[in-house]
Amino acid sequence: MNANTNSKFDLKVFSKTVGWSYRESLPDNLNPQLSAGIPIQFMKRYGIVPICNQNDEFIVAAISKPKQLDALDVLADYYELPIEIVIMPNDLVADLIQQLAENRRASSQKLLQDSLENESIHQVLDQIQDVLITDSDHPFIIRFTNSMLAEAIESGASDIHLEPDRTGMRIRFRIDGMMQDRANASSHTSELIASRIKVMAKMDVSNRIHPQDGSLTITVGKSPRDLRISSVPTPFGERVVIRILGRAEQHTDLLKLGMSDEMVEKIDTILSQNEGFLLVAGPTGSGKTTTLYAALHRIDCNTRNTMTIEDPVEYHVPGVSHVEVGQNRNISFGDGLRSILRQDPDIIMVGEIRDGDTAGTALRAALTGHMILSTIHTHDPAGAVIRLLDLGVDAALIAETLTAVIDQRLIRLLCPHCKQLIDDQNHYSPAGCIHCDHTGYKGRRALFRFIGIDQSLRSAIRNRDHDKIEQLVTCHCDEQLKKHANLLIEKGLTSLSESQRILQG
């Protein structure tokens, strides 16, 4: 017994302790399972390690800093048992904690594997509620985050939204374009989950007041998937959105996306030309980029130098040079485009036309021996042309170079497992089952309309005649979407109500 320690340490202060002793060697009855719910950081900070449970009568804990009353109270409350204290030298306690940390790292690898296989986020969340967790590296938080990512990828989600509010955090997935509630976490847990995501994406965990971006790659099954993370502060905590980028093999065929043979032929003709400008229009999440990728797959990259400028690079197409621009890299689309024009490209895909600078540079490139493919955010095909004019690009330049506009929407397909026949004309309505998360729909198909820019449209553009542009484009293609949607209804692939939702939107 050490007299010095004894004199500093008044046992009567602790109501939750049952006695104490002093030892200078490692205990041989350490039970690593006992401390599984206690964060390593907590043990390090207070120099305390729960060692064993004595017949459910008391917990034996090693401690190097016997003045940590709060920590002893926390342990006693956590185990709902009094604590017997073993005072040990600093370095021995540190060794014990180190040993536990290594055990945990090994077992969290195992847990990671397990959670990627079959553990629903609800199961993990339920377990988290029972455990005292203060750090985002805790195996439960790691397990929860991994399960959430795996569940989202397996259900085909394009985004995960972590939305803090007054009471905690709502976790929603976007599947086939629609938001779906998945789980609710407590405020305390939600902060740790957000931190865990930020750690994985190499973002600044200590900074919770500025918006941040990050990225990471996760492997589920055999294929690696790229994730893009964005965090934004809100009064209730950080709102985190995880975008799950697509798998390259899903996006290689225009016909499989839903394009008709006739339209694919027109695209091929355009792509075979040496210069021009092909613009894909549609609202956010309508699959514009996917269409461009499928178009890139139709180009013979061995004979033509094909480059892309994207924010972010979503998939890698063999033979194509991808360049990433954006806030993270401090390069705009316009800057990126100017620099790759010096790399002697034949075909350039510009991820999106967002500003006048990019639009002007892209159109001038199209005029000087380059085939340019790009997307623009609009709600109707005439809007794409008008948007270019509104961005301040010279009308004559647009009229001269714009080759065609593809306008597209994504329509949800009925779940083949549960769709219900409602009449004798092969019309089905959605029902809902486990295969479709009870939504009645599974997967989407693109609806396209194609607007070739002809002489009359060119002159309307040159004259900046919005009404005429509207009239010509509408007359060119208004029926195309409807016809295409009706075809899918007749085949029993989608429902009347889904078609109405898309056509009105």
Q: How far apart are CA 242 and CA 145, in angstroms?
A: 12
Residues 188 and 207: their CA atoms lie apart, in Å, by 17
The residues pairing with 42 across neighbouring beta strands, listed in sequence order, are none
386: part of which helix (H) or strand (E)? Answer: helix 381-390
Nearer to Zn ion, 381 or 440 (CB): 440
Residue 430 CB, shortest distance to Zn ion, in Å, is 8
The token pair that represents 90 in the structure block: 């600093």
User: In whole angstroms, how close is the CB of 420 to Zn ion at the nearest point?
Assistant: 10
Q: Which of residues 380-419 bind Zn ion (CB under 5 A)?
A: 415, 417-418
Tokens of 261: 């043979």
CA angle 345, 228, 217 (to 5 degrees): 90
**CB burial class (10 A; 0-12, 13-18, 19+) of residue 440?**
buried
DSSP reduced 3-state for 450: strand
Residue 126-145 contact track with Zn ion, rule CB under 5 A, x = bound: --------------------
Q: Which stretch binds Zn ion (CB under 5 A): 23-31, 105-113, 326-334, 435-443?
A: 435-443
* Window 76-105: residues binding Zn ion (CB under 5 A): none
Which pairing describes strands 276-282 and 306-310: parallel, antiparallel, or unpaired?
unpaired
Q: How far is the CB of 108 from Zn ion (least distance, A)?
A: 35
3 versus 434: smaller Cβ distance to Zn ion = 434
Residue among 112, 205, 433, 496 that touches Zn ion (CB under 5 A): 433
Radius of gyration of the chain (CA): 30
Cα 85 to chain centroid distance, Å, stands at 47
For Zn ion, give the closer residue by CB, 202 or 435. Answer: 435
Q: Is it true that the peptide bond before 312 is cis, omega within 30 degrees of 0?
A: yes
Q: Give the nearest residue (CB) to Zn ion.
A: 415
Mark 227-256 with x for binding to Zn ion (rule: CB under 5 A) and - for no binding: ------------------------------
Which is nearer to Zn ion, 180 or 184 (by Cβ)? 180
Q: How far is the CB of 446 from Zn ion (least distance, A)?
A: 21
Total residues binding Zn ion (CB under 5 A): 6
Instruction: Select from 87, 194, 371, 436 the one that contacts Zn ion (CB under 5 A).
Output: 436
- DSSP-derived letter for residue 28 is S
- CB closer to Zn ion, 438 vs 483: 438
Q: Does 435 bind Zn ion (CB under 5 A)?
A: yes
Residues that bind Zn ion (CB under 5 A): 415, 417-418, 433, 435-436
